[in-house]
């Protein structure tokens, strides 16, 4: 077994240094040598020149004493600067799956400075220091549940934000279908879910980017909250919120969350223009009704025609009120 899941561990990444770390009591950090790792990861770690990092700032990496999860967040891939948390986590997780040590090994990868963030399609960007950027792993057995994965993460982020808000302070944070968070009509964050099928399971890598403390150029979380929150504290609280939601999701599907999800999105009874499939065909006016049982966005035209729009096959220009096929 790679690591005791009752402990918390760090794979601390630098350029060019890297090291796996483990915490027996959530505070004292001890280095695990490359020889403690599976053979395929040993070669990867050795090629990265494994060194012992300073343990003086581990509490600033994550406030582990506040982590209440069984698995999620107990194993961390951390780099002060990384090209992409999504790409790195996918590569490391593939190695772990090939060594058959992935069971319940809920890796989280995060960095204060991401230089090549991944978005839908081929979108990339550089994340400013005030943005929380992280990726995490899930595994699902039911392929029909995959479209709902990003919806569940969106709702978990909203729940987490509300925990930091005072009861009397509305956050005005809403979900924009299929994978964005908006506040005051400005983008606050986004979600990317990518899946791979391996050994009868769908391994989902979810990337999250949320603006915590940059007031420009859009809006940040700390402008919406009564007192500021750190990126580290928000990430830990997200793990606490999300893990039990995912367990319920695996057992009961998205049905227990649908009402809360649509209560926190921007689209109830929104009138939109749905672009047709035929070139030159004028868009049809339709009203958004909700989500279908398969995870599609459901809209109905004035003539009664229903449109079911898959999140991966359509784009939504919310402010123009236009739904169109992705090219």
DSSP string covering 288-301, please? EEEE-TTS-EEEEE
Tell me the residue length of the chain. Answer: 327
Q: Prior bond to 266 cis, omega within 30?
A: no
Residue partners of 10: CB distance under 8 A and separation at least 6: 19, 20, 21, 22, 23, 29, 58, 61, 76, 77, 78
Residue 174, beta-bridge partner list = 182
Whether 274 contacts 299, CB under 8 Å: yes
C-alpha pair distances (Å), 177 with each of 56, 155, 322: 42, 11, 12
Distance (Å, rounded) from C-alpha 165 to C-alpha 113?
A: 26
Could you name the CATH architecture of 8-263?
2-Layer Sandwich (3.30)
Check residue 122 and give its pLDDT. Answer: 55
Tally Cβ neighbours within 10 Å of residue 82.
27
Residue whose tokens read 């169109």: 324
Q: Residue 327: what pLDDT?
A: 36
CA dihedral 184, 157, 193, 91 (to 10 degrees): 120
Mark residue 295 as left, alpha or beta (left: phi above 0; alpha: psi -120 to 50; beta: remaining).
left
Domain locations in the chain as residue ranges? 8-263, 271-325
Is the preceding omega at residue 217 within 30 degrees of 0, hence cis?
A: yes
Measure the CA–CA gap between 152 and 168, rounded to whole angstroms: 25
Q: What gap in Å lies between CA 125 and CA 107, rounded to an integer?
A: 23
Cα–Cα distance for residue pair 178/201, rounded to 1 Å: 23
Q: Distance between CA 267 and CA 249 in Å, rounded?
A: 23
Rounded Cα–Cα distance for residues 299 and 306 (Å) = 6
Q: What is the mean pLDDT of each run of 10 residues along the chain (327 residues)?
A: 34 39 34 43 42 39 80 82 84 74 69 64 64 93 94 97 82 92 94 89 93 91 93 95 98 97 94 78 88 90 84 67 60
pLDDT in the model for residue 313: 60
Tokens read off for 62 = 């994550």
């Amino acid at each position: 077994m790679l690591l005791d899941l009752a402990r918390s561990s760090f794979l601390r990444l630098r350029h060019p240094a890297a090291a796996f770390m483990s915490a027996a009591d959530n505070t004292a950090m001890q280095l695990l040598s490359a020889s403690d790792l599976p053979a395929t990861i040993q070669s990867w770690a050795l090629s990265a020149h494994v060194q012992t990092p300073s343990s003086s700032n581990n509490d600033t990496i994550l406030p582990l004493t506040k982590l209440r999860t069984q698995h999620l967040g107990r194993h961390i891939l951390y780099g002060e600067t990384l090209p992409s948390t999504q790409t790195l986590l996918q590569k490391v997780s593939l190695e772990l799956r090939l060594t058959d040590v992935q069971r319940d090994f809920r890796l989280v990868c995060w960095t204060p400075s991401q230089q090549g963030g991944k978005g839908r399609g081929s979108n990339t960007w550089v994340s400013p220091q005030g943005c929380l950027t992280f990726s995490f792993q899930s595994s699902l057995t039911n392929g029909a549940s995959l479209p709902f994965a990003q919806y569940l993460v969106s709702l978990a982020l909203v729940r987490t934000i509300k925990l930091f808000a005072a009861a009397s302070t509305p956050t005005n944070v809403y979900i924009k279908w299929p994978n964005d968070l908006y506040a005051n009509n400005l983008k606050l964050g986004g979600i990317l879910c990518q899946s791979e099928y391996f050994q009868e399971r769908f391994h989902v890598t979810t990337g999250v980017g949320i603006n915590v403390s940059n007031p420009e150029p859009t809006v940040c979380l700390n402008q919406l909250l009564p007192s500021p929150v750190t990126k580290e504290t928000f990430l830990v609280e997200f793990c606490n919120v999300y893990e039990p939601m995912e367990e319920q999701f695996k057992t009961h599907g998205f049905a227990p969350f649908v009402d809360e999800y649509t209560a926190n999105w921007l689209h109830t009874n929104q009138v939109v223009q749905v672009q047709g499939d035929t070139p030159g065909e004028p868009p049809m006016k339709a009203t958004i009704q909700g989500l279908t049982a398969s995870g599609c966005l459901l809209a109905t035209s004035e003539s009664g025609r229903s449109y079911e729009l898959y999140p991966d096959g359509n784009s939504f220009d919310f402010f123009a009120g236009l739904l169109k096929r992705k090219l």
